[in-house]
């Protein structure tokens, strides 16, 4: 199949439409998981038809938290901020065209548990010791879309794709940068259906997303980021439980992530040049099962048809800020 052209393809080269130039942790993580998964989800922009409740729930939760953080930063009280956050979530999960609420059919992640999660989160952290940092413009450091001018090599010169001599950039989106114990931290919120056990936070080191965030926090915002504080929410049918954990990155770990990313980018380039993205058939069962297992399980000559019928178009564009998604 050929990569689609047109709107949303600004992240790709005009010289080779399969060659991604603007990357983020989602697209890099997709490639690391399985090149074929990356090809279907990012290059072709195909997603499965059933709505991804985790994505919707997560985005709405993040948006509500941004609303709360902004109101408090601007001097609003906890009560006013929480009311504003709840209103935001209710509006975001309201289908104006059909005049009805979002119905997820998921007993864990639905509109009610979303609002409950927001209220319970801010009940637990009403007196949060973490204060939102201020960026150089004076604005609160919340929902920050960022982009590196270029992805650097070890000598800090721009990394370029060898086949087209084009610069690569790295983009992303931070929930919040906060001050805790006089140090700067990236604050990230995660929602899960699973119990948050003792080893939950251990999985975030190493972690592609958090390494990228820490790298960006220092490179883009010029902030000396201590690490990442993760607020994890277990969203169950009858309750939401929260745990807060921390993960750190040293300068040497970040350099290792940068160096490894160069390797992965060259691999992605090779795939784009050869127009072949191999399957990593050890990843098919991970994360609840790959959404493209249906396709990959078919003979190669049938896959294009299955992709056309069973999946819809959704281009993932790292250059789009979150408010546009």
Partner 1 sequence: MSSPLDEARPTSLDELFSRDPHELTDAELDDIVEELRRAREKWTVLDSEPQARGRPKKPKTTLEDLDLSHLLEEKME
Nearer to partner 1, 82 or 315 (CB): 82
Quote the DSSP letter at residue 142.
Answer: E
Tell me if residue 27 falls in helix, strand or coil. helix
Smallest distance, partner 1 to C-beta of residue 63, A: 13
Smallest distance, partner 1 to C-beta of residue 225, A: 32
Report how far apart, in Å, the C-alpha atoms of 204 and of each of 81, 92, 177, 261, 275 are.
Answer: 30, 29, 18, 17, 32
Contacts for 121 with CB less than 8 Å, ≥ 6 apart: 65, 231, 233, 240, 242
- Residue 123: how many CB atoms within 10 A of its CB? 11
Report how far apart, in Å, the C-alpha atoms of 295 and of each of 36, 40, 47, 112, 314 are.
Answer: 11, 10, 12, 34, 17
Nearer to partner 1, 48 or 192 (CB): 192
Smallest distance, partner 1 to C-beta of residue 11, A: 34
Tell me if residue 41 falls in helix, strand or coil. helix
Structure tokens at 28: 């890099």
CA 219 – CA 258 distance, rounded (Å): 12
Nearer to partner 1, 112 or 276 (CB): 112
Smallest distance, partner 1 to C-beta of residue 70, A: 17
CA 272 – CA 11 distance, rounded (Å): 14
Nearer to partner 1, 123 or 149 (CB): 123
One DSSP character per residue, 263-287 reads: HHHHHHHHHHHHT-----TTSTTGG
Smallest distance, partner 1 to C-beta of residue 83, A: 5
Nearer to partner 1, 123 or 286 (CB): 123
Kindly list the residues in this chain that would bind partner 1 in the complex (CB under 8 A).
Answer: 79, 82-83, 86-87, 90-91, 94, 99, 101, 111-112, 115-116, 119-120, 123, 238-239, 241
Smallest distance, partner 1 to C-beta of residue 67, A: 12
Smallest distance, partner 1 to C-beta of residue 175, A: 22
Nearer to partner 1, 127 or 165 (CB): 127
Quote the DSSP letter at residue 324.
Answer: G
Strand partners, 155: none
Nearer to partner 1, 82 or 223 (CB): 82
């Amino acid at each position: 199949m050929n990569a689609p052209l047109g709107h949303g393809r600004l992240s790709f080269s005009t010289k080779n439409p399969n060659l991604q130039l603007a990357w983020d942790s989602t697209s890099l993580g997709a490639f690391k998981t399985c090149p074929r998964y990356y090809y279907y989800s990012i290059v072709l922009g195909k997603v499965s038809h059933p709505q991804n409740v985790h994505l919707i729930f997560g985005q709405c939760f993040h948006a509500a938290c941004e609303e709360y953080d902004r109101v408090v930063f601007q001097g609003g009280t906890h009560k006013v901020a929480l009311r504003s956050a709840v209103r935001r979530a209710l509006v975001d999960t309201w289908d104006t065209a059909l005049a009805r609420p979002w119905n997820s059919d998921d007993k864990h992640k639905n509109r009610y548990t979303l609002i409950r999660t927001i209220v319970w989160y801010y009940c637990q952290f009403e007196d949060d010791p973490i204060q939102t940092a201020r960026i150089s413009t004076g604005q609160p450091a919340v929902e920050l879309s960022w982009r590196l001018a270029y992805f650097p090599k070890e000598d800090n010169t721009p990394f370029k794709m060898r086949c087209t001599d084009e610069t690569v950039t790295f983009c992303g989106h931070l929930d919040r940068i906060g001050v805790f114990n006089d140090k700067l931290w990236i604050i990230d919120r995660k929602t899960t259906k699973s119990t948050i056990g003792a080893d939950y936070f251990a999985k975030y080191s190493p972690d592609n997303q958090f390494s990228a965030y820490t790298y960006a926090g220092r490179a883009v915002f010029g902030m000396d980021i201590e690490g990442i504080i993760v607020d994890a929410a277990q969203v169950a049918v009858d309750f939401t439980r929260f745990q807060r954990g921390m993960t750190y990155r040293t300068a040497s770990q970040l350099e290792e992530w940068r160096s490894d990313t160069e390797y992965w980018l060259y691999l992605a380039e090779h795939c784009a040049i050869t127009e072949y993205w191999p399957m990593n058939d050890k990843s098919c069962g991970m994360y609840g099962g790959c959404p493209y297992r249906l396709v990959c399980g078919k003979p190669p000559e049938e896959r294009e048809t299955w992709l056309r019928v069973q999946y819809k178009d959704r281009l993932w564009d790292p250059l789009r800020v979150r408010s546009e998604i």
